[in-house]
Structure formats: structure tokens, C-alpha cells
Chains A and B, each alone.
Chain A
Amino acid sequence: MLVAGVDVGNATTEVALARLVAGQPPEHLSVTRGPTTGAKGTAESAQGVLDLIDRASRRLGETPTRILLADLHPVETGLRELAAGSEEDLGGVGIARPVSATPSGVGAAAGQLIDLAELVGDPLPLPVIPIVGLIDFDVAATALNAARTAGWQLVAIIVAGDDGVLIGNRVDPALPIVDEVADTDELPRGAWAAVEVAPLGATVVQLADPLRLAVLLSLDPTRARGARNAARALLGHRAGIAVRREASGGTTEQEQPRLATLTDGSTRAIDISTTPPGVGDVVAIEGIDANLIDAFWSALPEAIDDAALSLRLRQRRAVGLAVLARRDDRALEQALAESFAGEVVVVAAETAAAVAGASTTPGAGHAPIVIDMGGGTVDLHVQIGDHDVAVATAGAGLLVDRICGAILGIDPLRAEQAKRHPSVHVETPFILRHEDGSRTFLTSPAPPQSVAHLCITERQDGSLDALESDLAPEVWSRLRRAAKRTIIAGNLRRAITAAGGLPRGELAVLVGGCAEDAEIVSEVSLALADLDLAIARGDVLGQHGPRAAVAIGLVLLHAETL
């Protein structure tokens, strides 16, 4: 009998074809892999299974008569940035954060905003900050110099185009000038404003300090507290503009985090400052209609040694959430049964199948501890003597993708590549700097869009995927590893606690897609170092590496029943 062991994961579906004859070991014929279509366990996921079976059958020249499935529970993974939905009152201070890489001058100054065209006639008896629109820099510089000669007190300049240094060189190189200010038309002429340009390599200091900002904008002391949001928003920028507006309280309407209800009836906010409880302790989550098995959440990782970056990440209040739900509708089975000519059989739980598959790793014998790290869950199976425990925890590779995507500002599919492959910084068209600080020389130039960018390496065509992120490769590498540590290793710790601990000195075999990631394997090994385990990567049937453990395991378990 030809059978197809099928593992429908949250990210990947695997099909193992094998020939079974009663009383004989299975003849394993092939393993085929593809992306899961639709959500795991739904009728939509059947299409991916059937496509893979069709592909494998054509290659073999024979169609299986029986599909072997595991008992499935899907995981929903998402990420929510709570700050994105918040209405932040800047306490009567308007701000602009120009992205210009080349402002001119250094320092902070305050004055009244005025159009360049208005710098005529008798000068105003107060400092002014002219606004220069999209005009030629020589024309602008001539007008500004004429105004200075006439007695206007120019303390800073705001420029719409990329002409800050050009104008500074022709007027006063010391004068703070911010350029590439996109919305100069919206700056209220006549309003009191402050401009700051930090020295090269530094960030604004005065505008980022609520008291100094209040002094520059001549706000009374009661409004200084209200300026804190504006000051915080300018933190970490090389240049900034702050404009005094009508007084307001500086309060913030923050989007509220979802509440998780725990088994004891208490609630816990799913926020960046809270940690998820133990496995199975969440029974309900606001806005999620599902029969929960487990829930896990994680904030963006902290940037060690970089307070400004840590603050930037924290201010987004981004929380990745993974929810493992019980699925009793048998939708995948039914969909397969309707479309497949043969039988569809549910053989065992996923963890039991993973143990059977992992145990085919050469040298493993019977694997007493199997850790299956997939897209949706980290599953722990312990089978030592009478001690037989299986724990499935929500949150694995897909949640790492979400967190990595949020850090880099890219979609989860691209983040999946960024998670797996090392990054480089393209210093020049011919020089790449790697995550460990080493450099390599290219024989043909890197594409222009990659120059001075963080790039993902190891695309199939050998090209570099340039990211907009301004992170250095070594910083990104640390954040990426921290995400893997928090989610995969952290979740594994939860599973171990739920399983009642692990015996010291035993063999633990890692399987699943995440076990192909050397960084995850090393993070897991570090996290479990105190348990003194022999941690090894699975090599299913000695030829599939850590993949296909469940699909092969289903075949093995079913063979035992014949």
C-alpha cells in the first residue's frame, strides 16, 4: 500500500510517500515540501496537500491510496503596534523631523516664522526664522544676505529643498539651517518656533528636553510638562523644528491593549510591559473567538547599549501575539476526503509523530526528548519510562518573522528571509561589511540601491535585498538573535516548566523548520545549558535534516498498526 504522511504546518506542508507492507519496515520513497495554503487545518489548506501529493505521485508514477494526518491545532500569529493607533497631544507644540542628511550649521535658536518674501522693509524687532520655498539657492542666499544687511535678525533658516549647506555657505555656515522640510507650506507664518541642528553624529539635545524646549518656545512653566510628548518625538533626530501652537494639556489618548483572561479569572494586559503566563493559563483573549490551548506574546527586543534605539522601538508599543486554538471541525479531513480518491486517516497527535520521526536520526535510538520548533508552535515531547508528556506552546518561527518584520519595517515574508540569512552593510559598490565587522571585496559592483544600506544576503539569484532600515548589521544581528531567544528559547522554557522539568544528561533532538536555523539552535542550547542536556539537531532518516519528522513519523506509526 502506498501512503502519504502529511504534515500541515502553519507555514509549510510536507508530504512523505512510503510503501507499507504488513510486518516489514516502511519503504520511504520521497519527501515533498511546499507552503501551506490557507490557515492550518482549514479546508483551504487541503489544496496545498493535494498539490504536493500530485507532484510526488507524478514523479513516482504511482498515486497513494491513503493519506495519514496528525491531529491538528492551528496557530494564529499577528502583531499590533499600539502606538500607531494612539492620538498623541503634543501639548500645544507642533513638530517637524526633517530627514535631511545634510543640514547646515550647529545649535538651537528660536524666532518668529516668516516667509523669505516678507523679509523686506523695516526689520521686525525680534529674531526671525525665514522659510525658504523651492527656489534657486543663489536667489535665496542673495535675499537672505540683503535682509541681514538691512538689520533682520536671522537666527535659523528652514529650507524646503536640499539646499541647506549651499545656502549656509553663502549666508553664514554657523547658522542652524534645516533643509528637505517637506511641509513648509503648513508652517504657520508669524508663529514662534525653535530650530536645532546637532553636530555630525549627534542628535538634538535642546528640543528633546521638555524644559529647554519650553524655554525656547517661551512656554510658561505649566505648559512645560505638556511639551514632553513633543520633546520625546524629537529625541534621536539630527535636526528638528518645534512650533508653538495653542495651549493644550499634553495628554495622550492611547490605544488600550487587549486583555487576556487567565484560568484563575484574573486578567493581564497584552502589552510590552507584561509577560505571558504559563502554558495553557490563558483561557480567553478580548476580540478572539476561539477555544484557546495557549497564548504567547512578545514585545520588540531591546537594543543593548543603544538607549535611543531602545526608546524608538519601545515607543511603538509593538506586541506580537500567537494564539493556539483547539480545532474540532475536521475541515481539512473533510476537504481531503471529498477530493482524494483514497482514505484519509488521522493517525496520532503531532508531537507523537515528531518523536517517531526524530527517532530515525542516526545514532539517536529512541529519542527521549523531542523539541519540534515549527512555524506556529514549539512542541516538547518527553517520553522516558512511564514519564510521557507532550506540551504544545503558541509562538515560534512565524512570530519571530513578525517581530523581525516590525524591527526592519518589512512584510513577514521578507522578514522570513531576513531572519534566516546574515545581513551586510554595503559600504561601497565593492566592499561589504559583515555582522562580525569583517569585510569582503566584490569583483563586480553591488547595485546602486544597495549602497550604504543594510542588505539581506543569500537570495537565490545571489543579489542583495536592500532594506530601508538604518540599523548597522551588528545591531540588527543582536536584535534578531534576541527575538529568537525571547520567542523560541523563552517558549521552550515555558514548555519545560509545564512538562514538570527535564531529566539532566538526557538526549534532546531538535526538529522542525526552526531547527535548520543555526542561530536558533545555539540560542536554545544556551537557554538550556543549565539542564546539561545533549542537544542535537535531528536528521530524519539520515537524509532530511530536521525537516519532515512529523510526516515520516506518521508513516512509521501507521506501519505499526498494520
Chain B
Amino acid sequence: MSAPSVVLASTDVGLIRLVAAAFEEEAVPLQILAEPISARAAAVRSPLGIGLAVDGTELVVALSTGLDGTYLRGPLDDARLLGRAAARLAARRPLGAFAG
């Protein structure tokens, strides 16, 4: 059985550091996949049903359920905040600044 974690699909070291820091701060497990897949596909691979991936110039947080799956998106400069929102989503805490 897979450990419960959120999946980030990326090979960008800088982006991974920011998102991983957000997850560590929130004490939520994060799994990195070095594959060019969408956030929705990453979410399907996540035991928690939450995935992150870059889409053009934006970072997308997606859910494995729902019609579209895209739940949050924002500029790459806000990767730490989006990572925090994704971690809090998994931890069922208020998402904070990136909740819209």
C-alpha cells in the first residue's frame, strides 16, 4: 500500500525546493515524480487524490475527483504559497492566502 502523500510532478529543482518546504512546514508528506504529467494525472497517482504540476507559466493544484480536477492555480513565483495551500488541503486546514 502506498503511503498517503500528495504528488508533485516536476524536475525543476528550484520549484521542488519551494513546494517541498511548504509541505515540510505543514508536516504533510510529498512525493516527487520526475515525469511530464499534468496535475490531474499527478492527483490520480496520489493516495490523497491531490497533485501539483506546472502548466505553462502556472503551478496547478488538481484533485483526482470532480469533472475538471483543477482546484487552484497561480504563477510559479507563488509556488511556496500554492504548495502550502495544497498541503493544507490534504491536512484539512484553511488554505490561507491562495484560497482565492
Contact = CB atoms under 8 A, between A and B. Distances in A.
A47 interface: no
A445 B64 CA distance: 11
A163 B21 CA distance: 8
A254 interface: no
Nearest to B17: A138
A377 to B, nearest CB: 39
B63 interface: yes
Interface string A133-170: 00001000000000000000000000000111110010
B67 A429 contact: no
A57 interface: no
Contacts of A315: none
Interface in A442-456: 444-445, 447-449, 451-453
A101 B93 CA distance: 9
Nearest to A169: B24
A162 B25 contact: yes
Given A429-B89, A445-B71, A453 B84 contact: no
A418 B42 CA distance: 38
B25 A163 contact: yes
Contacts of B85: 448
B84 A162 contact: yes
Given A137-B21, A429-B63, A448 B95 contact: yes
Contacts of B89: 428-429, 448, 451
A449 B24 contact: no
A427 interface: yes
A261 to B, nearest CB: 47
Nearest to A453: B94
B53 to A, nearest CB: 17
Given A444-B66, A452-B94, A102 B100 contact: no
Contact of B92 (A137, A427, A445): A427
B26 interface: yes
A22 B63 CA distance: 70
B72 interface: yes
Interface string B78-91: 00000011001100
B24 A166 contact: yes
A137 B25 CA distance: 11
A137 B88 CA distance: 20
Given A429-B63, A444-B67, A451-B99, A102 B92 contact: no
Nearest to B72: A448
A428 B72 CA distance: 14
A542 B15 CA distance: 66
B61 to A, nearest CB: 9
Interface string A437-469: 000000011011101110000000000000000
Contacts of B26: 102, 165
A163 B63 CA distance: 26
Contact of B100 (A427, A430, A447): A447
B92 A451 contact: yes
Interface residues of B, number: 22
A264 to B, nearest CB: 52
Given A448-B71, A451-B92, A102 B25 contact: yes
Contacts of B99: 448-449, 451
A429 B21 CA distance: 24
Nearest to A165: B25
Interface string B60-79: 00010111000110000000
A426 to B, nearest CB: 9
A427 B90 CA distance: 10
A452 B93 CA distance: 5
A304 B93 CA distance: 25
B43 to A, nearest CB: 12
Contact of A428 (B21, B67, B92, B94): B92
A102 B66 contact: no
A448 B67 CA distance: 16
A448 B26 CA distance: 17
A451 B84 contact: no
Nearest to B93: A452
B33 interface: no
Contacts of A449: 95, 99-100
A17 B95 CA distance: 51
Interface in A83-138: 101-102, 137
Q: Which of A164, A166, A451 has the most CB of B within 10 A?
A: A451
A266 B24 CA distance: 63
Contacts of A447: 100
Given A451-B95, A453-B94, A445 B66 contact: yes
A452 B90 CA distance: 11
Nearest to A104: B25
A212 B67 CA distance: 55
Given A449-B99, A449-B100, A452-B95, 8 more contacts: A165-B24, A428-B92, A429-B71, A445-B63, A445-B66, A445-B71, A448-B99, A449-B95
Interface of B: 21, 24-27, 63, 65-67, 71-72, 84-85, 88-89, 92-95, 98-100
Interface of A: 101-102, 137, 162-166, 169, 427-430, 444-445, 447-449, 451-453
13 contacts: A163-B21, A164-B25, A165-B24, A165-B26, A429-B71, A430-B65, A430-B66, A444-B67, A445-B63, A448-B71, A448-B85, A448-B100, A452-B92
Please list the 10 inter-chain residue pairs (A to B) with the smallest Cβ-Cβ separation, ordered nearest first: A449-B99, A448-B99, A452-B94, A165-B25, A445-B66, A452-B93, A448-B100, A166-B25, A448-B95, A449-B100
